[in-house]
Amino acid sequence: MTLGQEFSGYTHIAQQAGQRIAQAAERLNVLGLGGTAVGTGLNAHPRYRELVIQNLREVTSLEVQSAPNLFHLMQSMADLVSFSAELKNLALELTKICNDLRLLGSGPRTGLGEIKLPAVQPGSSIMPGKVNPVMLEMLNMVCFQVIGNDLTVSLASQAGQLELNVMMPVIIYNLLNSVDILTNGISAFVERCLVGISAGQERCREYMQQSVGLATVFCPYIGYSKAAALAQEAEQTGKNIYELAVEKGILAEDKIKEILEGVLDVGS
C-alpha cells in the first residue's frame, strides 16, 4: 500500500467520527427546562417552557426544543452519555492514529522512517538532533483524558435515583472539558504536525523493493507455487523478489511495473 492509501484510511476514520459526533449532538437540542419538580412543572409559569425555548433559539441559533416528556429528561442522561461516548470513540481512533504516526516516523535509521515529522522544538534534551513526536504525544494525552471523562459521565448517569439525577453538574463539566481539550488538541496537532508531515520516499521505496510480500502481488499472474518459491528464495538469499522474478524469466520488468502500478492505484 502507498502512504496515500494509508492516510486515506485515516481521513475516512476522522470523517466518520465527526459525523457520529454531529448526530449525537443533535439529540442534545431536546431540553428538559421547565420540568422543575422531577418533571411535573410545578411552580413554573405556564408559558415558561415556550418562552425560554424561543429565546434560546434566538440567542444560540440552535434548533432547541422542549422535551415531549419532562419526566424522561429529569432522570435519563442517555443523550449526554451518547455524546460523551462518541467523543470517546474519536479519542480512541485518534490514539490509534497517533500511535501509527509515531511508529511510521520513528528512526531515522533504527526505526521505520516511512514519514518525516516536523520538528516543533530544538530537539531532545539528551539526544542532539532527534525529532521527538511531541505533538502526537500531546494528542495521546488529550485522548486519554477524554476517555477518563467518559467513564465519569457513565458513572454519573447511572447514579440518579428514582425520577431525578443530581449528578448533572459533573456530567456537564466533563463533557465541556472533553470538547474543549479535543478542539484545542486537534487544532494544535493539525497546525504543528499533520500539515508538515512528509514522506520518507527513499525508505518507502527500499521497503517495497525488499518486501517478501510482493509474492502476494505476483500470485494471480504466476500462480501460488511459483510465488511461494520466489518468497522462499528471496528470504534465503537476501535478494528481492523483483530481481528474482526478472532474473528467472518468470515476469518481464515492464510487466512487474504494470502489476505494481495497478495494485498501488487500488483505493487511491
- The yes-or-no answer on residue 124 being catalytic is yes
Q: Are 150 and 84 in contact (CB under 8 A)?
A: yes
Choosing from 84, 124, 178, 225, the catalytic residue is 124
Cα distances (angstroms) measured from residue 94 to each of 48, 98, 120, 144, 186:
43, 6, 20, 10, 9
Annotate 201-225 with b (16+ C-beta within 10 A) or e (fewer).
eebbeeebeebeebbebbbeebeee
User: How far apart, in whole angstroms, are the C-alpha atoms of residue 188 and residue 136?
Assistant: 10
Q: Are 53 and 32 in contact (CB under 8 A)?
A: no
From the list 28, 72, 70, the residue with the least C-alpha distance to 49 is 70
Positions marked active-site? 124
